[in-house]
Amino acid sequence: MGKDLTDSINYFGSASSDLIAQDFTRSERKDFSIRKEIIWESETATDSEVNKKEVELIHELKSNISEIGYNQWPKPR
């Protein structure tokens, strides 16, 4: 889960390679796919509003719980 203020096709956030690598064997790393899904967007939101929405969605989707996602911030409630 993350925010993309760049609208770049090449942007996938700032994930921790070490953390993600723990979930894949060497063999699995040779053939895998990455999927990017936009779950919320706004043409008018300020950076502050985007930051607030990001935190809201991280908590809602529990992507900061290691068994579910890779977000290391904010810490789970």
pLDDT for 2: 85
pLDDT for 39: 94
Residue 61 tokens, joined: 């989707």
How far apart, in whole angstroms, are the C-alpha atoms of residue 23 and residue 45? 35
User: Average pLDDT for consecutive 10-residue bins of the chain (77 residues)?
Assistant: 85 87 94 92 95 96 94 90
Overall residue count recorded for the chain in this entry: 77
How far apart, in whole angstroms, are the C-alpha atoms of residue 60 and residue 75? 13
* Domain range annotation of the chain: 1-77
Task: Report long-range pairs for 11-19 (Cβ below 8 Å, ≥24 apart).
Answer: 12/36, 15/70, 16/70, 16/72, 19/70, 19/72
